[in-house]
Structure 1
Amino acid sequence: MSGKSGPGGASGRVHRSPHVAAALRERLRDTFWFAPTAGLVCAVALWWVLSDLDTRIVAHLKNEGAYAELGDLLAFAMDARTIVTTVSAAMMTFIGVVFSISLVAVQMASGQLTPRVVRIFVRSRISKLTLTVFLATFAFSLLVLTSYEGGAEPDPRRVTSAPLVQSLLTLGLVGLSLLLFVAYVSSTLRLMQVGPVLDHITRESLRALARQPHGPADRLPPGPGAVHVPHRGRAGVLRDVAVARLVRAARRQGAVLRLVPRAGDFVVPGTPVLTVHGGAAPSSRTVGRALSVGVERSPHQDPAFGLRQLSDIALRALSPSLNDPTTAVQCVDRIVQFLSAAVVLPLTALHHRDRRGDVRLVQEVPGWTDLVDLAFEEIRSCAAASPQVTRRLLAGLDDLLSLAPEERRKPLLRHRALLVEAVERTVPEAAGRAFALRPDRQGIA
């Protein structure tokens, strides 16, 4: 069961296991607290360093007897004090108003498209950066106010410290906050538009697909005496797998592990998550730390999640409450784009190897038929009465048929035949059927 590849590389899709930090990075991207918290910590640390620097500057000028220059710097610091006071008083109100408006925009986008678009906002770098800088500016300005000494005109001979560099940095943070505010508003407005959201979902799915290496397929046989490892954690969706942890655990036990659920599957306690071949099973703690189970799917190791989102948006657009076939056509555009990239890939089980080249973990992924069914089954059943969508579906299926190798044409032909049958059953007029069954990449050009 070592699974070493031969000269032809026939041991499946093999590659080095991704580092554990990759899974941690994805978990942090799905949180909205880490970046702002880190920003607040950095603001306090930066204030501490700059406060000491300002003290050293004042002490140096006093030792050199440069009281005139020190007086000018103190005058600048006192002038900047008004700005710092205003910033500290207004920043929290500004943050509350900005993000209240943003949450309303996200709510509108999720109602028009799909609730899954909320995660785009949560994972948005510009959103996290904006909130981080806003909070850091607020905290830093409050700390700077504690550094002022004396009254309106402090005596240069008696003052021991003055926020000179701190005041300059506060002004810089205010300017950066204004620039980020413009960028943030622009990003939020894009989130309310169909095209940018679909483009983001598609690019994210294609990146997830590209992260999975591809090669010839060779399934490892189950073999006698396989041991099943049950899930001991909470119920939820399998989001990510720390492949490196499982590979190391399998190497230590001299075993080959097969992951039973795929990324995106819902797992409940007691159901098998691993099958162990040829060695001892890893500990429950190791398995629990290697499997990330949450309440919602993640695209990191689950390219099919993008198709799920595109299909959801198309289905909502085709519902009688919205009746927006143009949005459905845009979804079909992106679905065809994704499938055209996947049609030439093997889409077979991933075989993860240890440093010696032995296969230690087998991970199943959705096959070509699974992806095609996910992409077209529900949309096809809801689009029979919309000629704009049926024409785009036919054009997309024809494009994929022209790209697909012979062994992958069957599911495409099946969906094309079912679409034709659905239109013929739904549209009574011969002229209407002929119009609805004419392939068109724009739907109705």
Structure 2
Amino acid sequence: MRLKLDWIARDVANQLWFTVGLYCLLGVTAALSALFLDRLIPDAVSSRVGADAVDRILGIIAASMLAVATFSISTMVQAFASAATGATPRAAQLVVEDRTAQRALATFIGAFVFSLVGLIALSTGAYGSSGRLILFAATVVVVVLIVVMLLRWIHRLSRLGRLGETIDQVERAVNKAIDDRRQNPCLGGRRAPLLEPPGTPVVSRKIGYVRRIDMGGLSRIAERGQFDICVTALPGTFATLDRRLAVMVACHDDEIAREVANCFQIGDQRSYEQDPRFGLIVLSEVASRALSPAVNDPGTAIDVIGTMVRVLSNWTDGADCPRDEIKYPRIFVPAVAARDLLDDAVAPIARDGAGLVEVGMRLQKAMQALANLGNAEMTEAATAHAELALARARQALSFAPDIQRLSSASTRDT
């Protein structure tokens, strides 16, 4: 239950409205705090420091921040649309969750709310001389924050929503998911056997994608009942009402099966968090869009291939699952195979770029680089995909020297 609340809190914290609302609340608190802190300032000090100009400063902030916030909102909407149309709609969520953009917009709107509340309180005569001094000090702090955030926002605007930046954001998300999987092989459980064990199946109670798995919750259920649980639906799996999420070994209690099903978070969209394959799918979608006749941008596809090589070079398939990293000994989880990763990442690009020799050459070099990483499973998968890409290119290309170049670059021939 605690982990589920943590998931909900994390998802809410990534929403734009939450950050803006939090900063607005801070702005209101800062403006009204002068009503309660004026007793801490001696009258002698407040009389020496003039703070009569605070109402004019607040007026300037209110007028300027409203204009800046409106401009920032329109800019962010354009960035979201650019990421969705230029890259893929699945990558637009990362632009929405951009922390610098969220904080910039939240700072501007929060400063506007602060100045508006301050002006209202000043017009009612709620502040005394000490209160006006505290409000003046708070206004100076707000002005400094605005200047700093404006500088950061101007720097961020040069990249926000651009295709290259969107690809970099997806790469960071995939690398984070891969790093988490390396630290927790098989999500912290044991590696599941190839054949599904006999037992009571746990089916999905919703239709959607498996976004996260509460491994701690599954472990507590298994330890309490002294039985094993074999997960059959990894994050990213599309679950239907008859889709098996897990199998309870030597347990036949329907109530416990419902508890196990509740440990799987089902949503309308896939999540990057526990699903490294999703990020690779998004990257391949960016490349496929770039290779479409309407866009015709093979350079972006080549850039994506290089990104995939960097990402997959950091990948370990978790085949060994070291004992000291097994946190949940009664939970068995299938490992993500290198072949599955390359199916998601390479196959669409090889299909859509089969008729472009420059894309085919970069694919062959990329597969050769992955095959030389020293991982047997990755070597086998990269070699197989290099052969498939070469076979597709041979059917799509008609110029014999181009086919020969690709053949010589294939990992099969090196």
In which range does the TM-score fall when normalised by the shorter chain?
0.7 to 0.9
1:326 aligns with one of 299, 317, 323:
299
1:402 deviates by 1.5
1:242 aligns with 2:214: yes
1:370 Cα deviation after fit: 0.6
1:169 aligns with 2:138: yes
* Structure 1 pair 353–408 and aligned structure 2 pair: CA distance change class (3 A): closer
Q: CA deviation at 1:31?
A: 2.2
Counterpart of 2:78 (choices 91, 104, 124) is 104
Distance in 2 separating the partners of 1:111 and 1:401 = 34
Matched, 1:70 2:50: no
Q: Secondary structure at the match of 2:131?
A: coil
Match of 1:145 in 2: 119
SS in 1 for 2:51: helix
Give me the CA root mean square deviation: 3.2
The residue number in structure 2 matching 1:44 is 28
Deviation for aligned residue 1:21: 6.6
**Partner of residue 411 from structure 1, selected from 365, 381, 389:** 381
Query: Over residues 392-411 of structure 1, what are the superposed CA-to-partner deviations in whole Å (9 max), with x where a residue is unaligned?
Result: 11111111121244454333
SS at match of 2:246: strand
Are residue 87 (structure 1) and residue 87 (structure 2) matched? Answer: no
Stretch of structure 1 that moved more, 333-342 or 345-354: 345-354
How many residues are paired up?
Answer: 403
Does residue 258 of structure 1 match 2:234? no
Identity %: 23
Deviation at 1:123, TM superposition (A): 1.6
Question: Is the aligned partner of 1:395 residue 2:365?
Answer: yes
Q: Would the alpha carbon gap of residues 192 and 45 (structure 1) be closer, same or farther in structure 2, given more than 3 Å must change? A: closer
Native 8 Å contact 2:191 2:332 kept in 1: no
Question: Is 1:33 aligned to 2:17, yes or no?
Answer: yes
Partner amino acid, structure 2, of 1:250 = A
- Cα offset for 1:129? 1.5
1:182 maps to which residue? 151
Distance in 2 between residues matched to 1:340 and 1:79, nearest whole Å: 60
Is 1:208 paired with 2:192?
no
Structure of larger gyration radius: 1
Deviations 1:269-325 (A, max 9, x none): 343323212334555764465322222211110011111111001101110001100
Change (3 A) 1:409 1:276: same
**Where does structure 1 lack aligned partners over 5 or more consecutive residues?**
1-17, 441-445
Local SS of the residue matching 1:239: strand
Pair 1:200–1:388, CA change in 2 (3 A): same
Aligned partners of 2:38 and 2:393: how far apart in 1? 77
Q: Give the match for residue 426 of structure 1.
A: 396
Is 1:295 the equivalent of 2:265?
no
Correspondent of 1:230 among 203, 210, 227 = 203
Shift of 1:439: 4.1
Aligned CA distance change for structure 1 residues 198 and 71 (closer, same or farther; 3 Å): same
**Structure 2 vs 1, CA of residues 149 and 100 (structure 1 numbering), >3 Å: closer, same or farther?**
closer
Matched, 1:195 2:164: yes
CA contact (8 A) 2:231 2:245 kept: yes
One-letter code of the match for 1:242? D
| Residues 280 and 308 in structure 2, CA contact (< 8 A), matched pair in contact too | yes
Q: In the alignment, residue 397 of structure 1 is paired with which amino acid?
A: M
Higher relative contact order (CA 8 A, sep 6+): 1
Structure 1 stretches of 4+ moved >6 Å: 348-354
TM-score (structure 2 length as normaliser): 0.86
SS of residue matched to 2:354: coil
1:275 and 1:345, CA in 2 relative to 1: closer, same or farther beyond 3 A? closer
1:277 to 249, 252, 256: 249
Q: Which amino acid aligns with 2:370?
A: L
Partner of 1:4: none
Secondary structure of the structure 1 residue equivalent to 2:346: helix
> Is the 1:313–1:328 Cα contact (8 Å) retained in structure 2?
yes
2-structure distance, mates of 1:184, 1:350: 45
CA distance in 1 between partners of 2:293 and 2:131 (Å): 66
Asked whether the 8 Å contact 2:309–2:366 carries over to 1, the reply is yes
1:346 partner SS = coil
Higher relative helix content: 2
Gaps of 5+ in 2: none
In structure 2, relative to structure 1, the CA distance for the partners of 1:29 and 1:371 (3 Å cut) is: farther
Q: Is the CA contact (8 Å cut-off) linking 1:222 and 1:277 kept in structure 2? A: no
Post-superposition CA distance 1:179-224 (Å, at most 9, x none)? 3233234324323333332222222212211112348975357544
Q: Secondary structure at the match of 1:147?
A: helix
| Distance change >3 Å, CA 181–CA 437, structure 1 → 2 | farther
